[in-house]
Amino acid sequence: MNTDGRQDRGFVIGDRTFTSRLIVGTGKYRTNREMVAAIRASGAETVTVAVRRVDLDRSREEGILHHLDPDEFFLLPNTAGCYTTADALRYARLGRAAGLNDWVKLEVIGDEPTLLPDNAATLEAAVELVADGFKVMAYTNDDLITALRLEDAGCVAVMPLASPIGSGLGVVNPYYIREIKRRLTVPVIVDAGVGTASDACITMEQGVDGVLMNTAIAAAEDPVGMARAMKLAVQAGRDAYLAGRMQAREIAVPSSPLTGMVEPV
């Protein structure tokens, strides 16, 4: 490994050092038992959670705190499902009032079919939440200008999508992801769109600081097996990035010596 080149300086977001570059969601699992097993297999330290009404009739499952210990995992409340700045602020504050931490995964959706983010509303919400003392990790599309503005707004991390939420299409624009990573100082975590382990690996090979996924694990036939694969893929992609890949060429270059061949027949 070329230790003169890229070095891993640890995964620091805001004032906190994280052990795993893989962040996972907790939605869409078939059972809570499977969710916990998959999260443990993924090695993730940070897991996202959503804020929703308590089911007063108890026909549905209990809250996730009955299954995930905040001492074992760093629970990151999100603002999923919010379409306006006002809603995002409300959900962020409800999440903080639960008393776990003052972090939020901010997302403000702008379009239902694609779940693509509303950049203007996201930026507006980020400014308010930072002023209110939140540590904001902002979900955004793969747009450099928005990413720069979210960093300027004081977000502790900027989280561009690989492709739409839940699509499993992988990184549709690796160049934009690389450019965002090159230009930002705060950590860049690719959030949404990873479908399988190769997507996670390719994502990390772009040099980003981390990757966040939910559906790719939860909707796999074997979520625990996929979680393990994602853990390895994220590590492999990070290692490959740090190792520095060979130059790609559209021509073959032999790997064995051209000299020393025996007399041709």
Partner 1 sequence: MTIHRGAGEPAPVGGTGVPPANVSIVLNGECRSVDAGLSVAGLLRKLELEPGMVVVERNREILARAAVGATPVEEGDRLEVVHFVGGG
Q: With CB under 8 A as the contact rule, which of the stretches 58-66, 176-184, 225-233, 248-256 interacts with partner 1?
A: 58-66
Told to check if 98 binds partner 1 by CB under 8 A, we report yes
Q: What is the amino acid identity at position 127? A: V
Q: How many residues are there in the chain?
A: 265
| Residues in region 103-132 near partner 1 by CB under 8 A | none
Residues with catalytic roles: 105
Residue identified by tokens 């080149």 is: 5
**C-alpha to C-alpha distance for 242 and 209, rounded to whole angstroms:** 11
Handedness of CA 140, 143, 144, 145 (dihedral sign): negative
Residue from the set 12, 14, 16, 27 that interacts with partner 1 by CB under 8 A? 27
Residue from the set 41, 80, 125, 180 that interacts with partner 1 by CB under 8 A? 80
Residue from the set 49, 137, 155, 157 that interacts with partner 1 by CB under 8 A? 49
Handedness of CA 240, 168, 146, 126 (dihedral sign): negative
Told to check if 195 binds partner 1 by CB under 8 A, we report no
Residue from the set 9, 66, 245, 249 that interacts with partner 1 by CB under 8 A? 66
Told to check if 33 binds partner 1 by CB under 8 A, we report no
CA distances from 7 to 45, 60, 241 (A): 22, 47, 10
Q: With CB under 8 A as the contact rule, which of the stretches 46-54, 199-207, 227-235, 257-265 interacts with partner 1?
A: 46-54
Tell the smallest beta-carbon distance from residue 56 to partner 1 (Å).
6
Residue from the set 12, 50, 144, 169 that interacts with partner 1 by CB under 8 A? 50
Spacing of C-alpha 165 from chain mean position: 11
Size of residue set near partner 1 by CB under 8 A: 37
CA distances from 15 to 20, 111, 157, 185 (A): 15, 33, 11, 14
State the binding string over 162-191 for partner 1 (x if CB under 8 A, else -): ---xx-------------------------
Contact 48, 26 (CB under 8 A): yes
Q: Report the DSSP beta bridge partners of residue 12.
A: 17
How far apart, in Å, do the first and last CA atoms of the chain sit? 42
Contact 64, 49 (CB under 8 A): yes
User: Between 5 and 99, whose beta carbon lies closer to partner 1?
Assistant: 99
Q: With CB under 8 A as the contact rule, which of the stretches 4-12, 56-64, 197-205, 242-250 interacts with partner 1?
A: 56-64
Contact 30, 6 (CB under 8 A): no
Tell the smallest beta-carbon distance from residue 89 to partner 1 (Å).
11
In the complex, the residues that contact partner 1 under the rule CB under 8 A are 25-29, 35, 48-54, 56, 61, 63-66, 75, 77-78, 80, 90, 93-95, 97-99, 165-166, 192, 212-215
